[in-house]
């Protein structure tokens, strides 16, 4: 294979002009026009990050493994199958050979029809290059897709005869050729070639297979669709031997045989794939409703969506739930919210995420962080309903956060919480667009079966290998899209509504009819973008719309929706069972007031309110008076206000505020109200801030002492009163502390010791005395004075200790304890090991263990007492 990246130096290096075959991918790219190149870069944007300096570099980059994998993963199933077929074809392959691999011997017309487009796609994406008679798959792609024992090909094909016989002895090859009924040749290459020719010749091959034993045919049929490898024993059965002898099975390793690619293709009637899927499975209509029904159902749901978001944020009005330390909403708060919204938890999670995505709610960023509505929410509330819907929907379409994941677990097995981290899935917006675009391919009013949508999506973006998790994600995203679009009213009863269509920027279905699948023209050498394709065929992500276009589409959708939304009403129906029914959405001020005055009992298209003493009290607390409420109800009721309701309001109002509560720090009471009037009339009492509560009681904001003082200064003779109402007798103040305990006596000397202590003391003294007074033998070290610690080298110390263990004698040691205090001790060592000496300490009268390194020195006790 010639190098793709660099033109072969001995040929003309200048770009191959149109018409001459390019010799490398770089040349092929060079030959493409600007539109074609920009189409390449649009589909493979990774190639221009960063922008390559020249086409050679672009070609190099297009051949890198990461980029090729990415490109392959974005191919639709048929394009991928075409690439896979090319990978098992000869290199380079002629167009017809490739087509034969896909269409099979029976020349499937559907495949033939779809083939030019698929090939065009591969060319456009620079995965395939070269003229029609010399099609080449980019080398990396070939490596990825071609079969090898380690990576079985999705085609299930094995190696070619040439590859499989590469290491075989020439003699063996000649034997096979002879067995196969071919004339022997003089070299292996020609032998392999003639064998290959036999295997690829349908009629000769059929003739050969006709002579095969039945079991042999059976074996072949087991291997034909792959995996092509089989196990054989050292002494294979007769029918296996028959196959092996004729090269229909070729050995790859001891005990393993493979079905050569040519044989498999013969048995498969030339097809590289068991099922070639030239066209995407059609999206099936589950049922069809009248478009008006769909639109109005969607509008109804759109209205519900608005009401729900509003209700959610109203619920969080006075401080929403706390933000978890790891971010997000706790499971309990989500549960609570779900109960408040009267929906299932996953649905509640969706609304919460939607409001978040639309910027209507966020964390408040305070020290004790909570979720709350944003200022944008207040603006949003003021806008017309259709615009509010448009805001929510466009936020949803573009969001990468996916509410469907909530409640699941991430790769580290942490629960994914609503509003929390880890919910972003970059594929989400694209899948949403695709799902809606697929729904748009159906006639207006038709609802798709979810399975057919999923099948179509899977065709568009099949996944190579076993990436079941990722596979799962796209399918799940699609399912979520279907249910979420229903919740939002983008679809109604499962079918895309007119406003949903407008949201995608699609013309209405009737206008689109003409754009049926255009037959692919002759120019399949041209990159795919030159083919006319129906608008819906192209994934929308391929042709991103400008923000202006998007805004226009959204505005159009809102315009379509607006007339379908119910008009707010200005009246309710009051009933004698103390309920009020609003037979539709209410004007906001009316709804707000009624929401305070009555409890909501049932929600939906209409709202049922119930008046209870509690709800009426709430309205009175909110500053309404009974007459206000009567007037309000009379004004907004279509029917006369029922008497029980009027009574309820009057009853509650009568008792409302009957008890009054206020703050006062002191009071003045007096049986003589004239005296109190006199106090109040006195200007000097103003500072005491007195208020008459009853004829005989004044409340004061001044404290009792100041009040007493003030009244005395005014010439009255007040007496203080205790909490029980007794007169307090004022005496000189005796200042007292809070309860305190008496100090503990600190005696001069120590307490008299008891007998135990004394005994211990004596013993210690005696031992110490023994240590200090016992005459000891002279050591080599400078003789320590009586007060000094003995000092010996550590080796000597060890030796002396060990000797003492043997003899059982006591020795005299100097010892420095952990605090650094030095002491002298007399010990009788018991054992010495591991740097410690265990000894009976005469001083302490017990067995102790001393680290040897703390022993400053050791001296033997003198045997003779002085």
Closer of 577 and 592 to another protein (Cβ) = 577
Closer of 608 and 619 to another protein (Cβ) = 608
Give the one residue of 30, 142, 388, 493 binding another protein; rule: CB under 8 A. 493
Q: Is 557 helix (H, G, I), strand (E, B) or coil?
A: helix
Stretch that binds another protein, among 29-37, 538-546, 641-649, 696-704 (CB under 8 A): 641-649
* Stretch 230-269 residues interacting with another protein (CB under 8 A): none
Closer of 566 and 568 to another protein (Cβ) = 566
- Residue 594 CB, shortest distance to another protein, in Å, is 15
Phi-psi region at 328: left, alpha or beta (left = phi > 0; alpha = psi -120 to 50)? left
Determine the Cα–Cα distance for residues 97 and 133; give it in Å rounded to an integer.
9
Stretch that binds another protein, among 182-190, 240-248, 489-497, 666-674 (CB under 8 A): 489-497
- Residue 654 CB, shortest distance to another protein, in Å, is 9
Give the one residue of 25, 299, 313, 397 binding another protein; rule: CB under 8 A. 299
Stretch that binds another protein, among 64-72, 208-216, 278-286, 644-652 (CB under 8 A): 644-652
Name the token pair of 641.
């206000």
Closer of 157 and 648 to another protein (Cβ) = 648
Q: Is 372 helix (H, G, I), strand (E, B) or coil?
A: strand
Q: Does residue 665 belong to the site contacting another protein (CB under 8 A)? A: no
The residues that bridge with 861 in the sheet, in sequence order, are: 776
- The residue whose two tokens read 């000769």 is 204
- Residue 287 CB, shortest distance to another protein, in Å, is 11
The answer to whether 688 and 706 are in contact (CB under 8 A) is yes
Closer of 148 and 639 to another protein (Cβ) = 639
Give the one residue of 642, 710, 814, 829 binding another protein; rule: CB under 8 A. 642
Angle in degrees, CA 194, 197, 198, rounded to 5: 90
The answer to whether 16 and 22 are in contact (CB under 8 A) is yes
> Residues with Cβ < 8 Å from 82, sequence gap 6 or more?
98, 102, 115, 118, 119, 122
Q: Does residue 603 belong to the site contacting another protein (CB under 8 A)? A: yes
- Residue 583 CB, shortest distance to another protein, in Å, is 6
Stretch that binds another protein, among 372-380, 411-419, 580-588, 686-694 (CB under 8 A): 580-588
DSSP for residue 157: -
Stretch that binds another protein, among 241-249, 638-646, 663-671, 717-725 (CB under 8 A): 638-646
Q: What is the DSSP string of 519-566?
A: PP-S-TTS-GGGS---GGGS-GGGSPPPHHHHHHHHHHHHHHHGGGSP
Of 236, 347, 292, 266, nearest to 100 (Cα)?
A: 266
Q: Does residue 288 belong to the site contacting another protein (CB under 8 A)? A: no
Of 353, 421, 364, 419, nearest to 392 (Cα)?
A: 353
Give the one residue of 492, 539, 710, 857 binding another protein; rule: CB under 8 A. 492
Q: Does residue 578 belong to the site contacting another protein (CB under 8 A)? A: yes
Q: Does residue 636 belong to the site contacting another protein (CB under 8 A)? A: no
Closer of 230 and 494 to another protein (Cβ) = 494
Max intra-chain CA distance, the chain: 145
End-to-end CA distance of the chain: 109
Of 400, 392, 360, nearest to 376 (Cα)?
A: 360
The answer to whether 842 and 771 are in contact (CB under 8 A) is yes
* CA dihedral sign of residues 483, 485, 487, 492: negative
Residues in the chain: 866
Q: Is 689 helix (H, G, I), strand (E, B) or coil?
A: coil
Q: Does residue 604 belong to the site contacting another protein (CB under 8 A)? A: yes
Q: Does residue 300 belong to the site contacting another protein (CB under 8 A)? A: yes
Determine the Cα–Cα distance for residues 593 and 580; give it in Å rounded to an integer.
13
Determine the Cα–Cα distance for residues 361 and 372; give it in Å rounded to an integer.
6
- Residue 294 CB, shortest distance to another protein, in Å, is 9
* Stretch 558-577 residues interacting with another protein (CB under 8 A): 566, 573, 575-577
- Residue 308 CB, shortest distance to another protein, in Å, is 10
Q: Does residue 655 belong to the site contacting another protein (CB under 8 A)? A: yes
Query: Checking DSSP bridges between strand 229-231 and strand 256-258, what pairing results, if any?
Result: antiparallel
Closer of 124 and 486 to another protein (Cβ) = 486
Q: Does residue 672 belong to the site contacting another protein (CB under 8 A)? A: no
Closer of 381 and 578 to another protein (Cβ) = 578
Q: Does residue 448 belong to the site contacting another protein (CB under 8 A)? A: no
* Stretch 325-364 residues interacting with another protein (CB under 8 A): 342
Closer of 492 and 710 to another protein (Cβ) = 492
The answer to whether 701 and 665 are in contact (CB under 8 A) is yes
- Residue 131 CB, shortest distance to another protein, in Å, is 55
Closer of 404 and 784 to another protein (Cβ) = 404
CA atoms within 13 A on the CB side of 849: 6
Q: Is 624 helix (H, G, I), strand (E, B) or coil?
A: coil
Stretch that binds another protein, among 179-187, 235-243, 298-306, 466-474 (CB under 8 A): 298-306
DSSP for residue 672: -
Q: Does residue 296 belong to the site contacting another protein (CB under 8 A)? A: yes
- Residue 341 CB, shortest distance to another protein, in Å, is 10
Give the one residue of 639, 786, 807, 817 binding another protein; rule: CB under 8 A. 639
Give the one residue of 52, 507, 584, 595 binding another protein; rule: CB under 8 A. 584
Q: Does residue 181 belong to the site contacting another protein (CB under 8 A)? A: no
Closer of 344 and 694 to another protein (Cβ) = 344
- Residue 350 CB, shortest distance to another protein, in Å, is 13
Determine the Cα–Cα distance for residues 415 and 334; give it in Å rounded to an integer.
13
- Residue 608 CB, shortest distance to another protein, in Å, is 7
Of 108, 459, 95, 143, nearest to 270 (Cα)?
A: 108
Neighbours of 202 (CB within 10 A): 13
Closer of 442 and 679 to another protein (Cβ) = 442
Q: Sketch the per residue contact string, 63 through 102, with another protein: x for CB under 8 A, - otherwise.
A: ----------------------------------------
Neighbours of 295 (CB within 10 A): 26
Give the one residue of 346, 359, 644, 704 binding another protein; rule: CB under 8 A. 644
What Å distances lie between residue 209 and 104, 162, 243, 330, 820, CA to CA? 19, 20, 10, 69, 100
Give the one residue of 75, 141, 157, 297 binding another protein; rule: CB under 8 A. 297
Q: Does residue 494 belong to the site contacting another protein (CB under 8 A)? A: yes
The answer to whether 520 and 116 are in contact (CB under 8 A) is yes
# chain residues binding another protein, by CB under 8 A: 36
CB neighbour class for 649 (10 Å; exposed up to 12, middle 13-18, buried from 19): buried
- Residue 638 CB, shortest distance to another protein, in Å, is 8
Closer of 222 and 314 to another protein (Cβ) = 314
Query: Checking DSSP bridges between strand 285-288 and strand 250-253, what pairing results, if any?
Result: unpaired
Of 584, 588, 620, nearest to 604 (Cα)?
A: 584
- Residue 280 CB, shortest distance to another protein, in Å, is 27
- The residue whose two tokens read 């004004």 is 635
Give the one residue of 581, 596, 664, 701 binding another protein; rule: CB under 8 A. 581
- Residue 425 CB, shortest distance to another protein, in Å, is 25
Determine the Cα–Cα distance for residues 358 and 350; give it in Å rounded to an integer.
12
* Contact positions vs another protein (CB under 8 A): 293, 296-301, 304, 342, 486, 492-494, 566, 573, 575-579, 581, 583-584, 602-606, 608, 639, 642-644, 647, 651, 655
């Amino acid at each position: 294979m010639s190098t793709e990246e660099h033109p072969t130096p001995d040929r003309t290096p200048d770009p191959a002009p149109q018409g001459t075959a390019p010799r490398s991918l770089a040349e092929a790219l060079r030959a493409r026009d600007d539109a074609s190149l920009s189409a390449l870069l649009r589909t493979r944007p990774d190639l221009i990050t960063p922008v390559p300096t020249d086409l050679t570099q672009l070609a190099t980059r297009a051949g890198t493994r990461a980029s090729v994998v990415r490109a392959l993963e974005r191919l639709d199933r048929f394009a991928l199958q075409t690439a896979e077929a090319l990978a098992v074809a000869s290199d380079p392959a002629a167009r017809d050979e490739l087509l034969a691999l896909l269409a099979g011997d029976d020349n499937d017309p559907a495949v033939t029809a779809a083939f030019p487009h698929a090939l065009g796609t591969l060319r456009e994406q620079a995965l395939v290059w070269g003229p029609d008679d010399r099609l080449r798959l980019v080398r990396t792609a070939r490596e990825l897709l071609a079969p090898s024992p380690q990576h079985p090909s999705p085609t299930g094909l094995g190696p070619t005869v040439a590859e499989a016989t590469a290491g075989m002895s020439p003699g063996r090859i000649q034997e096979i050729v002879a067995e196969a009924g071919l004339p022997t040749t003089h070299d292996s290459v020609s032998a392999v070639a003639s064998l290959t020719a036999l295997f690829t010749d349908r009629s000769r091959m059929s003739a050969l297979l006709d002579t095969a034993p039945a079991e042999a045919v059976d074996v072949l049929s087991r291997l034909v669709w792959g995996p092509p490898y089989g196990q054989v024993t050292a002494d294979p059965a007769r029918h296996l031997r028959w196959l092996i002898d004729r090269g229909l099975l070729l050995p790859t390793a001891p005990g393993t045989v493979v079905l050569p690619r040519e044989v498999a293709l013969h048995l498969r009637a030339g097809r590289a794939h068991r099922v070639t899927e030239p066209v995407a499975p059609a999206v099936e209509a589950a049922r069809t409703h009248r478009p008006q029904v769909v639109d109005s159902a969607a509008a109804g749901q759109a209205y519900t969506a608005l009401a729900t978001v509003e209700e959610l944020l109203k619920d969080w009005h006075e401080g929403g739930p706390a933000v978890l330390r790891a971010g997000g909403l706790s499971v309990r708060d989500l549960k609570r919210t779900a109960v408040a919204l009267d929906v299932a938890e996953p649905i509640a999670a969706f609304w919460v995420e939607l409001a978040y995505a639309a910027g209507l709610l966020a964390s408040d960023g305070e020290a004790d962080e909570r979720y709350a509505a944003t200022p944008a929410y207040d603006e949003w509330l003021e806008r017309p309903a259709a615009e509010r819907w448009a805001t929510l929907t466009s936020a949803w379409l573009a969001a990468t956060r996916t509410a469907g994941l909530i409640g699941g677990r991430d790769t580290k097995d942490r629960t994914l919480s609503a509003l929390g981290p880890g919910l972003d899935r970059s594929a989400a917006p694209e899948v949403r667009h695709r799902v809606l675009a697929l729904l748009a391919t159906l006639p207006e009013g038709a609802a798709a079966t979810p399975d057919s949508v999923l099948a179509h999506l899977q065709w568009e973006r099949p996944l190579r290998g076993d990436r079941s998790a990722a596979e799962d994600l796209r399918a799940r995203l699609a399912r979520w899209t279907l249910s979420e679009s229903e919740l939002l009213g983008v679809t109604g009863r499962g079918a895309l509504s007119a406003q949903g269509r407008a949201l995608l920027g699609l013309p209405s279905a009737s206008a689109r009819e003409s754009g049926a699948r255009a037959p692919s023209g002759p120019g399949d050498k041209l990159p795919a973008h030159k083919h006319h394709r129906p608008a819906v065929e192209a994934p929308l992500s391929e042709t991103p719309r400008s923000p202006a276009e998007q805004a226009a589409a959204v505005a159009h959708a809102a315009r379509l929706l607006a007339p379908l939304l119910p008009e707010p009403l200005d009246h309710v129906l009051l009933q004698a069972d103390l309920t009020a029914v609003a037979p539709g959405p209410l004007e906001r001020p009316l709804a707000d007031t009624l929401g305070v005055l009555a409890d909501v009992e049932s929600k939906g298209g209409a709202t049922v309110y119930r008046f209870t003493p509690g709800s009426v009290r709430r309205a009175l607390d909110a500053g309404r008076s009974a007459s206000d409420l009567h007037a309000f109800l009379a004004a907004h009721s279509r029917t006369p206000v029922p008497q029980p309701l009027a009574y309820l309001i009057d009853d509650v109002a009568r008792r409302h505020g009957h008890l009054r509560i206020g703050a006062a720090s002191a009071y003045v009471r007096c049986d003589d109200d004239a005296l109190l009037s006199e106090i109040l009339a006195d200007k000097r009492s103003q500072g005491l801030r007195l208020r008459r509560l009853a004829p005989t009681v004044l409340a004061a904001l001044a404290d009792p002492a100041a009040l007493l003082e003030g009244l005395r200064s005014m010439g009255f003779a007040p007496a203080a009163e205790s909490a029980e109402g007794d007169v307090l007798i004022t005496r000189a103040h005796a200042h007292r502390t809070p309860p305190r305990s008496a100090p503990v006596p600190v005696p001069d000397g120590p307490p008299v010791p008891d007998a135990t202590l004394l005994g211990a003391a004596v013993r210690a003294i005696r031992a110490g005395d023994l240590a200090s007074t016992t005459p000891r033998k002279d050591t080599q070290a400078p003789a320590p004075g009586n007060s000094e610690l003995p000092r010996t080298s550590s080796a000597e110390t060890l030796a002396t200790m060990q000797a003492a263990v043997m003899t059982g004698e006591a020795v005299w040691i100097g010892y420095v304890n952990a605090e650094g205090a030095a002491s002298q001790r007399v010990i009788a060592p018991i054992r010495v090991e591991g740097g410690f000496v265990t000894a009976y300490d005469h001083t302490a009268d017990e067995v102790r263990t001393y680290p040897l390194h703390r022993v400053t020195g050791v001296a033997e006790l003198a045997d003779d007492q002085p």
